[in-house]
Structure 1
Amino acid sequence: MKTSSVLAAALLLAAPLTAAAQHSHTPGTAAHGHKAAGETHAHASPHGGVVRTAGQYHLELVQQAGQLQVYLLDGNEKTLPVTRATGTALLLSAAGKTSSVKLLPTGNHLGATVPAGFTLRTAIVSVKANGNSLSARFEKLEAAAKAGKSVSAAYACPMSCPGSVSAKPGSCPKCGMALVKKS
């Protein structure tokens, strides 16, 4: 096993679980404030993903068509701009492989491409936004994907721009072309 793989696996295991608790999500639930990271309570999931508390913010992870989308949300689950945000995601596959991907601003979220053939089990997302360093651990993602918690990606950019997949028609946040319906 390569040293980088061992290090990545160790980071996945050692990442603090107290930073935030994974919550059940019921679309349309009432907004609320947070007093401490890791509180257990329901969150709205505005984009159909998994929401985690990250300090005074929330991070929402959405998987769709080989893409990861990370949304920065305020305490009321409203999407915040990510134009100056940066981030990385450390990924662990169901087969025990690790990969690190850079999250780039794409429209109203940060996006990255999941390596081909990678069945995502765990993601540790680290984001720098609005002068804050935020992180959250998302687990059991293969079960969430099988359960249909991800938004179906019915539209994509004809130029295959990263982060362009969408559940509804619109324009590509990267190149501006009209999204086309996937067959």
Structure 2
Amino acid sequence: MKFSLILAAAFAAASFSAQAQHTHKPGTAAHGHKAAGETHAHGAPHGGVVRTAGAYHLELVQQAGAVRVYLLDGKEATMATTGTTGSVMLLTTAGKTSTVTLTPAGDHLVAQVPAGTTVRTAIVSLKAGGKSLSARFEKLDAAAKTSKATAAAYTCPMNCEGSASNKPGSCPKCGMALVKKS
């Protein structure tokens, strides 16, 4: 009886642990996070914050007056947003909550944020490829303060939306070389 009780407890613990961990397809790296929505251990391709959402990742990038959301695959490559719909619930530092629709804008989704609003928490809900995805982004007000010092140093000379980057490269919209801001 004692042995079967210990065995049942060990099985339950192993089962719970296996459900909480996120692994990728064979041949890709497994991540060290334990549950969907936790801070992602890898760098964000667009300079934002990455969270897991099922088999995908969501990256949230804050800009003045807007938040951008990128849908990423298991290898953190940006996926097309064709047919993707969603919304983002915003909690501000003033304690106000609002839900804003995300609209497609090239390789990402965007939601307008009222001017002067400082977002503390954002909960993103998407419907992509018939699957419901969601992720919670917390402490964004603290992240915004630290990211101002490392703001995007490169931009498209044609001022294409979404071209800002913290490293040299090409504009994702027009293909021109990004230039360093002065």
Which residue in 2 is equivalent to 1:148? 147
Number of corresponding residues: 151
Counterpart Cα distance in 2 of 1:65 and 1:154: 17
In the superposition, the TM-score normalised over structure 1's length comes to 0.66
- The answer to which structure has the higher helix fraction is 2
Deviation of 1:135 after TM superposition, in Å, equals 0.4
Deviation of 1:65 after TM superposition, in Å, equals 2.2
Counterpart Cα distance in 2 of 1:124 and 1:38: 10
Query: 5 Å matches for 1:22-171?
Result: 31-32=29-30, 37=36, 42-148=41-147, 151-152=151-152, 155=155, 164=162, 166-167=164-165
Counterpart Cα distance in 1 of 2:169 and 2:34: 38
Q: Contact conserved, 1:31 with 1:43, CA < 8 A, in 2?
A: no
Q: Contact conserved, 1:86 with 1:104, CA < 8 A, in 2?
A: yes
Counterpart Cα distance in 1 of 2:120 and 2:97: 10
Deviation of 1:43 after TM superposition, in Å, equals 2.2
The verdict on how the C-alpha distance between 1:181 and 1:83 changes in structure 2, with shifts beyond 3 A counting, is: farther
Aligned-residue identity in percent: 61
Deviation of 1:115 after TM superposition, in Å, equals 1.0
Deviation of 1:113 after TM superposition, in Å, equals 1.3
SS in 1 for 2:95: coil
Deviation of 1:52 after TM superposition, in Å, equals 0.5
SS in 2 for 1:72: strand
Which residue identity does 1:82 align to in structure 2? T
Larger Rg: 2
Higher RCO (CA 8 Å, separation ≥ 6 residues): 1
SS in 2 for 1:147: helix
Deviation of 1:31 after TM superposition, in Å, equals 4.9
Which residue identity does 2:152 align to in structure 1? S
The verdict on how the C-alpha distance between 1:110 and 1:57 changes in structure 2, with shifts beyond 3 A counting, is: same
Q: CA RMSD in A?
A: 3.5
Deviation of 1:99 after TM superposition, in Å, equals 1.6
Q: Contact conserved, 1:91 with 1:122, CA < 8 A, in 2?
A: yes
